[in-house]
Structure 1
Amino acid sequence: MILELKKTEFHKCKDLLYAQGQLEPKAVVEGVNPGRIFVDDIVSPASGLIWLGNNDGFFFIGNERNEVFNSELNLFIDTLIIPEARKVGLTCFEGIGNHNKWDETILKVFENRNLGSWNQRVYTLQKNDYIGNCELTIQEDYNIVKISETLFENSDKSIKNIKFLHSKILEVWSSPERFFSKGIGYSVIYKNKIVSICFSGFVVDNFHCIDIETLEEYQGKKLAQKGALTFVEDCLRNNFIPYWDCMESNKPSIAVAEKLGFRKVFNYIGYEFMFE
């Protein structure tokens, strides 16, 4: 039977994590970012499934050849995961292996579903690799502002769409206080409106996973690039390592990362199927 761990028990999964794997499952297991963990054995888990707190996918961790766990996955997803996922507006299951040996297992376990896939790239930036001569200029009426508690609280009501910032931070972090104690971020503001943000989505040790979003009507103005550049420079000043995870098909995102000096450290495959 697949059972859910209490948050106080997440530490039992530390040994199941692949050291060179993605940042997100590590952040959940270490209790930095919110999420849920389901395992084959409460006392001594060998395999598990992590549901990210921002509902942005599931990570398979541990032993990919655990037949007892694998044989129960489809029923578990149908009876527990899908009903709960529908409640938060999800229409599909997105699953990722914490190491590439899970790929074969995922294909086998879900062979009777209409399984699709996509490719991801992960980049990191070391201080010595940073290309600091790519200063970007944006129009004068756009201002880069650090995401501070004062900005977040917006007591003077100066930011008209503060809910945009609130929703992005609280999508990934359990509270504003948690974000301000662990992460950093920057907003691009135009006429009392936040139009682009770049912030630490997940954090493990000194690695900061970059989360960027620009309002659709303001895209194409290099605002995200400027926000990312400012974020990266802040990271490097504080000896943080920026971590950039993007779809292989997202050529503009890859171009920005490589222009700044990010180096690809690994690829992985994501899988998805629609709920019936």
Structure 2
Amino acid sequence: MYSQFGGVNMITELNKQEFYKVRHITDQCNNIEVRAVINGINPGWVYVDHPTEITAALIWTRGQAGFQVVGDSQNKHFLNGLEAYMTNYIEPKLKKLNINWVEISGENESWAETIQAIFNKRNISNDIQHVFKLKGDMESSEFQDENITIQRIDRELLKSRRFGNQSFLEDKISHFWDTIDDFAQHGFGYIASHNNDVVSLCISAFVADQTHAIDIETLEGYRRRNYGASVARAFVEECKLNGINPYWDCSPENTGSIRLAKSVGMSLCFNYKIFWYNLM
């Protein structure tokens, strides 16, 4: 089923079985999250300028709770209807999910200028994001803690429900994946556990072909103890063994994340611009 707004040739929402129609636009996208949604691996929404002759698309990734616009940044039909479509159709959907902001980015500088122009009445803010990829060797590490166990996340570990805070692990996976089985089929990860609790984890958040976007989190109270570095190191080592390309996305202000990315051999690959505004 299609949902249309603004008449013929304006904006159409595709169902998941039709996402493949956008691949001719997204296959060359730098941002893995877009390709992960279009390939049907990670959950999201897709809105296009035409049901079949697609030249521009707006893609929402659930794990990021953000949008990216791709394709022709000068498509008049798409651009003229985008703000009204956001107001009348998409923003109410976000509010039902208790999301009170819109975050949107573009594939290139042309889209960045277009986004700024379309939403200039929304008190829109902007910043850049860094993306790191594996280009070097890991820093040597002598970190050891006999009270911490590093384990690979697999189906057996997930089904065992052996951890006191199992919900921390499951909620983190469910944030990016439709099901735990989807994660186990397409992604992988590592945890650090202490006293039968998961205290740090590093997982595949988005997957497109042989590229895995990393999500990493360490519980408050266990930070600055190298637990995050330990699970990130294990994750990247497996990537190197299996020909997987790790992909690390973070803000310039997140100096700890940048330092950690560099410590496991990753280097800045590209930047992209993001915009956001609050929903009233």
| Gap change, CA 1:138 and 1:119, over 3 Å in 2 | farther
Closer, same or farther: CA 20–266 of 1 in aligned 2, 3 Å: farther
Task: Work out the CA distance in 1 between the residues paired with 2:94 and 2:64.
Answer: 8
Matched, 1:174 2:178: yes
- The one-character-per-residue Cα deviations of 1:224-270 (angstroms, maximum 9, x if unpaired) are 11110110001111111111111111111111212222122110111
TM-score, normalised by the number of residues in structure 2: 0.93
Q: Aligned letter for 1:205?
A: D
Note if 1:7 corresponds to 2:16: yes
- Which of the residues 254, 258, 264 maps onto 1:260? 264
Aligned residues between the structures: 271
RMSD (CA atoms): 1.4
In the other structure, the counterpart of 1:192 is 196
Native 8 Å contact 1:134 1:260 kept in 2? no
Q: Which residue of 2 aligns with 1:150?
A: 156
Partner of residue 26 from structure 1, selected from 32, 35, 39: 35
**Counterpart pick for 2:58 among 33, 39, 49:** 49
Instruction: Decide whether aligned partners of structure 1 residues 73 and 236 sit closer, same or farther in structure 2, where only a CA change above 3 A counts.
Output: same
1:11 deviates by 0.8
Q: Is the 2:125–2:276 Cα contact (8 Å) retained in structure 1?
A: yes
Unpaired stretches in structure 2, ≥5 consecutive residues? 1-9
Q: For 1:6-155, what aligned pairs fall within 5 Å after superposition?
A: 6-17=15-26, 19-126=28-135, 129-131=136-138, 133-154=139-160
Report the alpha carbon displacement of residue 158 of structure 1 after superposing the two structures with TM: 2.5
CA distance in 2, matches of 1:205, 1:24: 11
Report if aligned partners of 1:18, 1:98 keep a CA contact under 8 Å in 2: no
Q: Deviations over 1:190-217 (max 9, x none)?
A: 1111111101111111111111111122
Instruction: Please name the residue that 1:205 is paired with.
Output: 209
SS in 2 for 1:217: coil
Contact 1:39/1:47, CA 8 A, preserved across alignment: yes
Tell me, yes or no, if the aligned pair for 1:138 and 1:222 is still in contact at 8 Å: no
Query: How far does residue 55 in structure 1 lie from its aligned partner after superposition?
Result: 4.9
Confirm or deny: 8 A CA contact 2:63 2:205 kept in the other structure: no
Q: Deviations over 1:158-206 (max 9, x none)?
A: 2111111111111111222211121110011111111111011111111
Q: Partner letter of residue 25 of structure 1?
A: V
- Unaligned segments of structure 1, at least 5 residues: none
Secondary structure of 1:101's aligned partner: helix
Seen in structure 2, the aligned counterparts of structure 1 residues 173 and 136 have a Cα distance that, compared at 3 Å, is farther
Output the CA distance in 2 between the equivalents of 1:220 and 1:176: 29
Letter in 2 for 1:134: S
Aligned residue in 2 for 1:221: 225
Code of the residue aligned with 1:49 in structure 2: it is L
For 1:37 and 1:23, how far apart are their aligned partners in 2? 15
> What secondary structure sits across from 2:145 in the alignment?
coil
Q: Quote how far apart the aligned CAs of 1:16 are.
A: 1.5
1-side partners of 2:122 and 2:27: how far apart? 27
SS at match of 1:48: strand
Scaled by the length of structure 1, the TM-score of the pair is 0.94
Q: How far off its partner does 1:68 sit?
A: 1.3
The alpha carbon displacement at 1:62 in A equals 0.8
Q: Tell me, in whole angstroms, the C-alpha distance in 2 between the residues paired with 1:19 and 1:265.
A: 15
Contact 1:21 1:99 in 2 (8 A): no
Q: CA deviation at 1:219?
A: 1.7
| Secondary structure at 2:109 match in 1 | coil
